[in-house]
Amino acid sequence: MIFPRWLFVFAVTAPLVSASGCEATSTPQSPAVPPQPFARHAVVSPNAARGDLLYVSAGTAVNVYSWRSFTQVATLTGFSSADGMCVDGAQNVWIVDGQLRYAFEYAHGGSTAIKSLAVPGGWPDACAVDPTTGNLAVVVAYAPGSRFHDKKGGVEIYPGASAPPTEYQARGIFFYDQAGYDASGDLFVNGVQSAGKVTRLAELPAGSTILEPIKLNVTLPVPSGGVQWDGKYLALGDGGGTIYRFVVSGRNATKVGATMLAHVAHPFAFFIAKLGNARVVVAADQNDLDVPEWRYPAGGQPLRSISINYPGGVVISRGRK
């Protein structure tokens, strides 16, 4: 079972580390030799690999489904705590493992990792890829310390998806949750204060070294439910059945719309994709133990769903046309 994100908020009482906007600092790589997840029953047929694939992380495994049929075509195993995932421009899939403290890259339809990166900052639980540079951002939820005194998390940026990374932290965020890049290479990260009950947002503008707080004009509860650029707006989940759309200007984010999702309890993550002429969104619902699909931004009733125990992350990797 994956490590629930909401435990980060209520299980500790560490004081907030105060800073006005932290300059980037280089962080060492450790350990030097990565663990090697093994793939069992992970061979994807050539026909399936040419199509669009849905990846769903679930603790010690990542299930791979044909998007067209919503049937399982492979299982990637050997993980300790597979959680958040992201997709790069080549449609390769990055999978972060919290307990192993590594990020692993798989080719579309691939059965074994083609790259692994140590995450030195702490417990990684999400990632995002910059479409303009190929930089990989790995969200570190928190850095383990003594009991009830965990240390502030942050974001590790790997230039060109290669080590060593540079760490960024923001004022007002102690536990970090998820991240997403917009089309211009601006990175958005959400999280909470220590023992906080309101989602905070921060932005690392393209080319900047400061992860700056962004003020939301609406209150989003904790735990949150995802961060993604939908092609026009910044989409933020509320950890329930709503995805809000925001326009970001300067240090302010203004809500311009919302997508209401029916039959979902607690989506840990969502993923918006344009497949053909249609846009859809899928979400990993840990309460209902399924991954439903909806039209986006219409929302409403789900079109179909997959049953899976404790889904944590979800992405769609597009196949060759």
- The CATH number of residue 164's host domain is 2.120.10.30
> Does residue 304 lie within any of the structural domains?
yes
Looking at residue 10, the DSSP 8-state letter turns out to be H
> Does residue 48 lie within any of the structural domains?
yes
Q: How far apart are CA 177 and CA 299, in angstroms?
A: 24
> Does residue 300 lie within any of the structural domains?
yes
Q: Give residue 158's domain range.
A: 31-214+295-317
Q: Report pLDDT for 121.
A: 78
> Does residue 134 lie within any of the structural domains?
yes
pLDDT at 17 over 50: no
- 183: burial class by Cβ within 10 Å (0-12, 13-18, 19+)? exposed
Q: How far apart are CA 274 and CA 295, in angstroms?
A: 10
Confidence band for 196, pLDDT divided at 50, 70 and 90: confident
> Does residue 117 lie within any of the structural domains?
yes
Q: How far apart are CA 194 and CA 176, in angstroms?
A: 10
> Does residue 118 lie within any of the structural domains?
yes
Q: Report pLDDT for 35.
A: 58
Cβ 186 vs Cβ 193: under 8 Å? no
pLDDT at 120 over 80: yes
> Does residue 177 lie within any of the structural domains?
yes
Number of domains in the chain: 1
| Segments of 98-158 assigned E as strands | 102-106, 115-118, 123-129, 136-146, 149-158
Greater confidence (269 vs 196) lies with 269
Q: Report pLDDT for 315.
A: 98
Q: Residue holding tokens 């790995």?
A: 138
Q: Report pLDDT for 292.
A: 97
Q: Report pLDDT for 29.
A: 43
Q: Report pLDDT for 48.
A: 73
Q: Report pLDDT for 38.
A: 52
Q: Report pLDDT for 224.
A: 72
Q: Report pLDDT for 197.
A: 77
Q: Report pLDDT for 305.
A: 97
> Does residue 189 lie within any of the structural domains?
yes
pLDDT at 18 over 50: no
Q: How far apart are CA 227 and CA 269, in angstroms?
A: 8
pLDDT, tens digit, for every residue of 63-105? 999 999 999 999 999 999 999 999 999 999 999 999 999 999 9
Contacts 24+ apart (CB under 8 A), 157-162: 157/24, 157/187, 157/204, 158/103, 158/117, 159/133, 159/135, 160/133, 160/134, 160/135, 161/88, 161/94, 161/105, 161/115, 161/117, 161/129, 161/134, 161/135, 161/136, 162/117
Average pLDDT over residues 33-44: 56
Q: Report pLDDT for 114.
A: 96
pLDDT, tens digit, for every residue of 135-180? 999 999 988 764 555 788 999 999 999 999 999 999 999 999 999 9
Q: Report pLDDT for 25.
A: 43
* Burial per residue of 146-167, b for 16 or more beta-carbon CB atoms within 10 angstroms, e otherwise: eeeebbbbbbbbbeebeeebbb
Average pLDDT of the chain to the nearest whole number:
86
Residue type, 319: G
Confidence band for 227, pLDDT divided at 50, 70 and 90: very high
